[in-house]
A and B are shown apart, each in its own frame.
Chain A
Amino acid sequence: GAVVSQHPSWVICKSGTSVKIECRSLDFQATTMFWYRQFPKQSLMLMATSNEGSKATYEQGVEKDKFLINHASLTLSTLTVTSAHPEDSSFYICSAREQSTDTQYFGPGTRLTVL
């Protein structure tokens, strides 16, 4: 199957700092990528849909100025958590849609801890 990578796999930062997470589709091009957040023992919560070359579409309740998404190329989307606070601590997962098969492939996730 197709491979999606995420970097970093984990990050610890101080409150008030910004953190950037990268999501790459390694062996296919993805015009659409997605960013999810997952709390312990809960299912994935879609945060936003990232479209290459255009603005991201955010789900209701997700602050677009807080979670900046950039999808500058067909293989890379980034999520920047700005002015992070402890309540932003979570597991963030991206996915990329392979258009030819309609399949979404997920990255391994990034564990963010804000102190």
Chain B
Amino acid sequence: SQKIEQNSEALNIQEGKTATLTCNYTNYSPAYLQWYRQDPGRGPVFLLLIRENEKEKRKERLKVTFDTTLKQSLFHITASQPADSATYLCALHKGNAGNMLTFGGGTRLMVKP
């Protein structure tokens, strides 16, 4: 079965710096991969989706890369702000009819002013 690894330790960075979060997976290459933000006591909020034939995707201060050779996705937040502090989840989709996502454990990001 697919195993997804995200750094379970919190990532602490200074405001204004670039935060980089890692998502590694084993086994099959997903058809696409999604990144979500989750705040305590709230449901995940969709951020970006990247497909297996895409190397990079950007949205405002966010950038996602997808390397199917390394079996890795990187999620970058540039010019980070304290409001970016949250848990970030990556989720993989196999591309089958079940349409299910498999989630990583999430990485907690803390941006200090």
Residues of A within 8 A of B91 (CB): 104
Residues of B within 8 A of A44 (CB): 44, 89, 103
- Please tell me the size bucket of the interface on B: 20 to 34
Tell me the chain A residues, 97-115 only, with Cβ under 8 Å from chain B.
97, 101-109, 111
A34 touches B100 (CB 8 A): yes
Complex Cα–Cα for A102 and B46 (A): 12
CB nearest to A97 among chain B residues? B99
- With contacts A32-B99, A43-B106, A108-B43 taken as known, whether A102 is within 8 angstroms of B49 at the C-beta atoms is yes
B104 touches A49 (CB 8 A): no
CB nearest to B89 among chain A residues? A43
Convert B20-53 into 0s and 1s, putting 1 for each residue whose CB lies closer than 8 angstroms to a CB of A.
0000000000001010100001111110010000
In the complex, whether A21 has a CB less than 8 A from a CB of chain B is no
Residues of B within 8 A of A32 (CB): 99
Convert B64-98 into 0s and 1s, putting 1 for each residue whose CB lies closer than 8 angstroms to a CB of A.
00000000000000000000000001010100001
Residues of B within 8 A of A42 (CB): 105
A6 touches B99 (CB 8 A): no
A interface residues, tally (CB under 8 Å) = 25
CB nearest to A32 among chain B residues? B99
B41 touches A109 (CB 8 A): yes
A103 touches B98 (CB 8 A): no
In the complex, whether B101 has a CB less than 8 A from a CB of chain A is yes
21 CB contacts below 8 A, A to B, read A34-B100, A44-B89, A44-B103, A46-B100, A49-B98, A57-B98, A95-B44, A101-B49, A102-B32, A102-B49, A102-B93, A103-B34, A103-B49, A104-B34, A104-B46, A106-B44, A106-B45, A106-B46, A109-B41, A109-B43, A111-B41
